[in-house]
Amino acid sequence: MRTLGWWHVAVVGAVVVLGLLLVAQGESTEALLGGLASMAVLLVSWLLLGPRAEASPAAATALLVSVSVSIGVATGFSPSLAVLQCVGYPLVWFFAGGTRKGLLGNVLLVTAVWFGFLASTGTDTRSVLESTITCGLSAALSLGLGLWFTRVYRRVDERQQLIDRLEATQAQVEALSREAGAVGERERLVREIHDTIAQDLTGLVLTAQLGRQELADGDVIAASERLAILEDTARQALLQTRSLVVSGAALGIEGQSLAESLRRLGERFRRETGLLVSVSADDVGSLDRDGQVVLMRCAQEALANVRKHAGAGAATVSLTTRGGEAVLVVEDDGSGFDARARTSGFGLTGMAERLALVDGRLTLTTNPGGGTVLEARLPVLQRST
């Protein structure tokens, strides 16, 4: 709309100014009336077709034909009105909608003006030569500027299309990134629930089974102690659930070191299962929080496997620093298993994936009847991000 507003100013201004000049020149009545009538047709054509010419190729074609004929006829009545070419040629290039149509519009306009000159100045050799030179120079200037502006506009349009495609691609990348982030967050929550809440629920089930057996045996004192363990485990599960829902924080090591968390884990495991658990944990302060959480989850998963599958009587948990790495070892004296046949079970895949995310690795040593040794290693030096 702003562009058409300037076109209104240009067309109306040119018609009004040239009309006043035509009157001031003292032209003959025929030339005056013919020139004014031709410019009136030009003005009406613009007012009727101009606002629709950008959106309608048919309206644009009708406008260019009307403008060319009007300027040619006006020149035929008065050669001074050939100045209207200053408005006509830009209109042709602006509304042509392409180089080919612009060239045809230029040919039409220069032809109309040339015939207008012949009608007003005569057809003698000198007049024809002057008319041809004048129209040729005007057309050459129009073609030069028009083709240059058309090429610039095409490049701008191509650049804008490229920008639009880049913005669309960026929007797709952002959408995929958000989706990947959501998937990653879901996977993180699944791991947290599996390694914390699910383990506590498993402990609740086993503790309840032991308590029922003790009640059946008439051991009220042992059953009462088992109920206390049951209550403590349930409270811990509730606390972890609330922490996960409210903040999404890593569970199990808030407000304490990894060594302290491992000792608490061993004590809870001993109370819940009755197995002898020995914990030896050094302070690994140079290990970042993500690494501490991963090792804590590995210890929880390993002890859960001891409880559910190993049939062990004792287990040991050790945390040391060796060769620039934090090394967590969980060992039991249980039945062991064939690692080649059961590598996808017991949460081993989840542990390996967790460790891989923080540049760690998992090693499992086990044989049927020979117990199991699980070793998780993480670099304690600051990792590049």
**Residue 96: its pLDDT value, please?**
84
DSSP for 49-95?
A: HHHHHTT-HHHHHHHHHHHHHHHHHHHHH-GGGGGGHHHHHHHHHHH
Domain ranges of the chain: 2-122, 275-385
Q: What distance in Å separates the CA atoms of residue 302 and residue 218, rounded to the nearest whole number?
A: 33
**Residue 182: its pLDDT value, please?**
64
Helix pair 2-24, 85-96: axis angle to 10 deg: 160
**Residue 247: its pLDDT value, please?**
46
**Residue 194: its pLDDT value, please?**
67
Q: How many CB atoms lie within 10 A of CB 158?
A: 10
Residue whose pair of structure tokens reads 């410019």 in the numeric block: 39
Can you say how many angstroms the Cα of residue 302 is from the centroid of all Cα atoms in its chain?
A: 40
Q: Tell me the β-bridge partners of 112.
A: none
Which spans in the chain are helix H?
2-24, 29-53, 57-77, 85-96, 99-121, 125-192, 198-216, 220-247, 258-273, 289-305, 348-357
Q: Tell me the β-bridge partners of 278.
A: 316
Cα atoms in the 13 Å half-sphere on the side-chain side of 254: 11
Question: Two tokens at 310?
Answer: 């190993």
DSSP 252: S
**φ/ψ bin of 229: left (φ > 0), alpha (ψ from -120 to 50), beta (otherwise):** alpha
**Residue 108: its pLDDT value, please?**
92
Nearest to 272 by CA among 243, 246, 245, 233: 233
Q: What distance in Å separates the CA atoms of residue 209 and residue 383, rounded to the nearest whole number?
A: 45
SS3 state at 23: helix
Question: Two tokens at 11?
Answer: 């067309």
Tell me yes or no: is domain 275-385 CATH 1.10.645.10. no
Instruction: Report pTM.
Output: 0.45
Per-residue pLDDT of the chain (385 residues; tens, 9 = 90+): 446 778 888 888 999 998 898 888 888 889 899 999 999 999 999 989 888 888 888 998 998 999 999 999 999 999 989 989 998 889 888 888 788 888 898 999 999 999 999 998 888 889 899 889 989 898 898 888 888 888 887 888 889 899 989 988 888 888 777 777 667 667 766 766 766 677 777 777 877 888 888 788 888 887 788 788 877 778 777 766 765 654 444 445 555 788 888 998 888 888 877 888 899 988 876 788 888 888 888 888 888 888 776 677 889 999 998 888 899 999 988 877 776 665 555 577 878 888 888 889 999 888 777 788 999 999 986 544 4
